[in-house]
């Protein structure tokens, strides 16, 4: 499984959604299930999956599926199609 | 018989000597996997190499005032041990200066080490400990002067007062994750630094301790063991004085 597949898997598991909704429109302000509890669960799951520990600023700004990939890239995670 | 901290993964800061080394030793005696931090390379190896414990001691040298080093250290613990159960925030600095002679540089240094770095480590550690279904324990070392104040220690006592306050707030915020947060407030403790002090003044101070002696680092370590172990599993947000009933 490549990193993009792993990333999608984490989102599917936390938000209980299908793969086709995971795109640039998947944001905390238009996903009903994306509350503070889900946010911290997402952060923990991503930290476990990619073996990183996010800075607080990155946790606060981790507001979308797409932006999250940019943040993870800063931690050395490479996303390949 | 298994130790009180059998297989618990613990991080202790400022463990190169004094109270931190005593806490790390005590925890390892009780079967813990102890990551013993100091910012002076070699200091943990000096004492850890001489001792044999049921647990293990892993020297972990980093500067707690550097957030990225702290984060890397916690990541290393998580990768190697898969979890963290106990954090003892012990590292601290102390400069004693009378009002009117307080150096801004020393004041900033004390807050940076004693308070800001402690908050930073607590934040990172809490996120890792929160993944344990049974939670864990964070112990912040404050001081009797943080509770009572002292002449010549305005800034130091202010930092230790902050440690007491942040302990109480963190305990409330982390209770639902089963993370207990407590503080130990040592009185005057027999450390190398203390023994270098003016001996006549030291005797005067000891006269103010009802039990008639300084605390030994092991006295503080035993209190830490209690707060790290399951014996204190329903205790959080408390400040435990270990001071021989000091009058002060």
Q: Reduced to 3 states, what is the DSSP secondary structure of residue B173?
A: helix
Q: How far apart are CA B33 and CA B171, in angstroms?
A: 24
Q: For B178-230, what is each residue's pLDDT tens digit?
A: 999 999 999 999 987 777 777 888 888 899 999 999 999 999 999 999 999 99
Whether B40 is covered by a domain: the verdict is: yes
CATH of the domain at B177: 3.40.50.720
Structure tokens at B125: 């550690």
Residues 6+ apart with CB under 8 A from A70: none
Asked if B75 reaches chain A (Cβ–Cβ under 8 Å), the answer is: yes
Q: For A18-67, what is each residue's pLDDT tens digit?
A: 999 999 999 999 999 999 889 989 999 999 999 999 998 999 999 999 99
Using the beta-carbon criterion (under 8 Å), do A53 and B71 form an inter-chain contact? yes
Structure tokens at B3: 């130790």
Quick one: pLDDT at residue B232?
98
Quick one: pLDDT at residue B247?
79
Band (pLDDT 50/70/90 cuts) for residue A81 is low
Quick one: pLDDT at residue B195?
76
Residues 6+ apart with CB under 8 A from B198: none
The beta-carbon neighbor of B123 closest among A47, A52, A56 is: A56
Whether B247 is covered by a domain: the verdict is: no
Residues 6+ apart with CB under 8 A from B116: B65
* Integer CA distances (angstroms), B172 to A24, B22, B79, B178, B180, in order: 37, 29, 29, 10, 9
Smallest Cα distance from B179 to chain A, Å: 16
Structure tokens at A11: 């989102």
**Parent domain of B205:** 9-231
Q: Reduced to 3 states, what is the DSSP secondary structure of residue B133?
A: coil
- The single residue listed with the structure tokens 């009780």 is B30
Q: Residues in chain B with pLDDT < 70? A: 248
Structure tokens at B5: 């901290």
Answer yes or no: is the ipTM higher than 0.90.
no
Q: Reduced to 3 states, what is the DSSP secondary structure of residue B78?
A: helix
Domain extent listing, chain A: 3-15+27-74
pTM for the full predicted model: 0.91
Whether B1 is covered by a domain: the verdict is: no
Quick one: pLDDT at residue A36?
85
Q: Crossing angle, helix A36-50 and helix B117-129, to 10 degrees?
A: 90
Asked if B71 reaches chain A (Cβ–Cβ under 8 Å), the answer is: yes
Q: How far apart are CA A42 and CA A62, in angstroms?
A: 10
Whether B119 is covered by a domain: the verdict is: yes
Q: Give B55's DSSP letter.
A: S
Strand partners of residue B181: B138
Q: How far apart are CA B45 and CA B53, in angstroms?
A: 14
Alpha-helical (H) ranges within B8-84 are: 18-29, 43-48, 67-81
Quick one: pLDDT at residue A72?
97
Of the candidates B103, B50, B75, the one whose C-alpha atom is nearest the C-alpha of residue B60 is B75
Smallest Cα distance from B68 to chain A, Å: 9
Q: Crossing angle, helix A3-15 and helix A65-74, to 10 degrees?
A: 130
Within chain A, what is the greatest distance between any pair of CA atoms? 30
Whether B242 is covered by a domain: the verdict is: no
- Count of structural domains, chain B: 1
Q: How far apart are CA A49 and CA A44, in angstroms?
A: 9
Smallest Cα distance from A47 to chain B, Å: 10
Using the beta-carbon criterion (under 8 Å), do B127 and A47 form an inter-chain contact? yes
* Integer CA distances (angstroms), A57 to B46, B124, B201, in order: 38, 13, 48
């Amino acid at each position: 499984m490549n990193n993009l597949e792993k990333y999608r898997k984490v989102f599917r598991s936390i938000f209980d959604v299908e793969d086709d909704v995971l795109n640039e429109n998947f944001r905390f302000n238009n996903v009903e299930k994306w509350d503070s509890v889900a946010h911290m669960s997402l952060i923990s799951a991503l930290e476990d999956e990619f073996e990183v520990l996010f800075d607080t600023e990155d946790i606060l700004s981790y507001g979308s599926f797409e932006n999250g990939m940019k943040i993870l890239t800063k931690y050395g995670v490479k996303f390949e199609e | 018989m298994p130790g009180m901290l059998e297989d618990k993964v613990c991080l202790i800061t400022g463990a190169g000597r004094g109270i931190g080394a005593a806490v790390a030793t005590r925890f390892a005696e009780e079967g813990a996997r102890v990551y013993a931090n100091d910012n002076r390379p070699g200091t943990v190896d000096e004492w850890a190499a001489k001792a044999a414990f049921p647990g293990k001691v892993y020297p972990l040298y980093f500067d707690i005032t550097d957030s990225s080093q702290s984060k890397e250290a916690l990541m290393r613990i998580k990768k190697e041990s898969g979890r963290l159960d106990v954090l003892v925030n012990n590292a601290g600095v102390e400069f004693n200066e009378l009002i009117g002679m307080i150096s801004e540089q020393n004041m900033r240094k004390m807050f940076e080490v004693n308070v800001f770095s402690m908050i930073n480590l607590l934040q990172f550690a809490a996120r890792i400990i929160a993944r344990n279904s049974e939670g864990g324990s964070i112990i912040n070392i404050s001081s009797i002067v943080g509770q009572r104040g002292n002449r010549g220690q305005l800034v130091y006592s202010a930092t230790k007062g902050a440690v007491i306050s942040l302990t109480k707030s963190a305990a409330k915020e982390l209770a639902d994750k089963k993370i207990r947060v407590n503080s130990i407030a040592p009185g005057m403790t027999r450390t190398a630094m203390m023994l270098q002090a003016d001996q006549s003044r030291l005797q005067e101070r000891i006269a103010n301790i009802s039990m008639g002696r300084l605390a030994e680092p092991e006295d503080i370590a035993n209190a830490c063991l209690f707060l790290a172990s399951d014996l204190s599993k329903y205790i959080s947000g408390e400040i435990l004085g270990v001071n021989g009933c000091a009058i002060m």
